[in-house]
Copies of this chain bind each other. A is one copy, B any other.
Amino acid sequence: MKGNALVAHGGGPTAVINASLVGLVDGCRGMTTLYGARGGIKGILEENFIDLLSVDRALLASVRDTPASAIGSSRQKLAEADYERILAIFRKRDIRHFFYTGGNGSMDTALRFSNSSDLRVIGIPKTIDNDLAVTDHTPGYPSTARFFAEAARDIGEDNRSLPSPVCVLEVLGRNAGWVVAATCLARKGEDDAPHLIYFPERRVSLETICGDVERVYRRLGRVVIAVCEGQLDEQGLAFGADVDRPASAVHRLSSNLGHTLARLITEKTGLRARAEKPGLLGRSCGPFATELDRREAYECGLAAASAERGMMVALRRDSRTFLTPLETVARKERLLPLEWIAPEGNDILPAFAEYARPLVGEIVHYPHLY
């Protein structure tokens, strides 16, 4: 193909985004230059590039298996003038192929470049949130789902062996409940954690949560709750958690919702409550990256190299890739189907596990002496 190519990462990293990067590099071997923008959009604007085709192949192969982004990412929003500056940089360097790896916000940026230039713009899917439209699932999600499934199991076992009345596990996720739903995947018995799961798709009042907690506590003497960092109460507020920039969904990420909820539960019910928040560890935890997730991420990068312009690579159930127009995914947020949420709003129905288990793999269930 004529001209040079560039790849950039947008938004939060995942445990397998580097596999997509290496897949793309392998797919672009015939090209003259594949620039990697260091630190996402910011790297493009500053022309802070790495020549990916000249990176030692053994180094690339080992980078494939590492979490977080090896070229860096950013959440920078593009100002009007930035588009023109970037297009000028692309012309100057004869960059005719632009690969952008990210979620639905990044796909919107990609779409805009695609619509306003002759660039061959290709989207590579990436989000732990699993909220991209069209694709069956998104690279990054299976590994994070596995992390939180195992976290819920292990915190549940800790809580079983030394019951502290209430333990809140704060899970990644703003608007979509795909990750928090995955905490169900290690459950087998009726008393396995988590005993209550809430979903950002359904607002829930503190009163409802406390009623649920008291019911479980009466039955088991202990309660493990899984809740998203983005969960909202019935008024659409974050239960009084610290919110850095209320207008920005992204910056709710730095909040303390789990801890705040734990304190409120204690106030209301008199039951001692604590909270755990693995936070960023849930998206970048190397030891939890699954082989399926890595392989699919790699395949998405590889398929992008030869994709036609204006498309995003997507995944079928069986890991095969296909292409979908950027406008089918840009800014579209796929939430958890409401019919998969239990009518009481505090648990997930078996349809979700049927969807997620093949992606996440079997989670070891621990034997018990009692």
Instruction: Give A residues with C-beta under 8 Å from B.
Output: 9, 11-13, 36, 38-39, 50, 52, 55, 59, 62-63, 66-75, 150-151, 153-155, 157-164, 167, 242, 244, 253-254, 256, 259, 262-263, 272-281, 283-288, 364, 366-370
Query: Which chain B residue shows the least CB distance to A59?
Result: B367
Residues in B with CB closer than 8 Å to A159 are: 280
A277 x B276 contact (CB < 8 A): yes
Bound complex: CA A45 to CA B70 (Å): 56
User: Would A272 and B254 be within 8 Å (CB), given that A71-B370, A75-B162, A277-B277 are in contact?
Assistant: yes
Quote the shortest CB–CB distance from A4 to chain B (angstroms). 18
Q: Are A157 and B66 in contact (CB under 8 A)?
A: yes
Q: Which residues in B have their C-beta under 8 angstroms from that of A259?
A: 242, 256, 259
User: Hey, which chain B residues are within 8 Å of A286, CB to CB?
Assistant: 150, 153-154, 157, 364, 366
Partner of A279, one of B12, B75, B163, B277: B277
A19 to B12, CA, bound (A): 39
Q: Which residues of B contact A167 (CB under 8 A)?
A: 280
* Interchain CB contact under 8 A, B280 and A367: no
Residues on B with C-beta less than 8 A from A279 are 155, 274-277
Q: In angstroms, how far is the closest chain B Cβ from the Cβ of A367?
A: 5
Residues in B neighbouring A74, C-beta threshold 8 A: 162
Residue among A71, A262, A369 with the highest chain B CB neighbour number at 10 A: A369
Complex alpha-carbon distance, A66 and B153, angstroms: 11
A62-B367, A256-B256 known; A280 and B70 CB under 8 Å? no
Q: Is the CB of B72 within 8 A of A160?
A: yes
In the complex, A364 Cα to B63 Cα: how many Å?
12
What would be 27 A-B contacts, judged by CB atoms less than 8 Å apart?
A13-B157, A13-B162, A63-B367, A66-B366, A66-B367, A68-B160, A69-B162, A70-B368, A71-B369, A73-B161, A73-B162, A74-B162, A75-B162, A150-B285, A151-B285, A154-B286, A158-B280, A159-B280, A167-B280, A259-B259, A274-B280, A275-B277, A276-B278, A277-B278, A286-B364, A287-B287, A287-B288
Cα distance A75–B163 when bound, in Å? 10
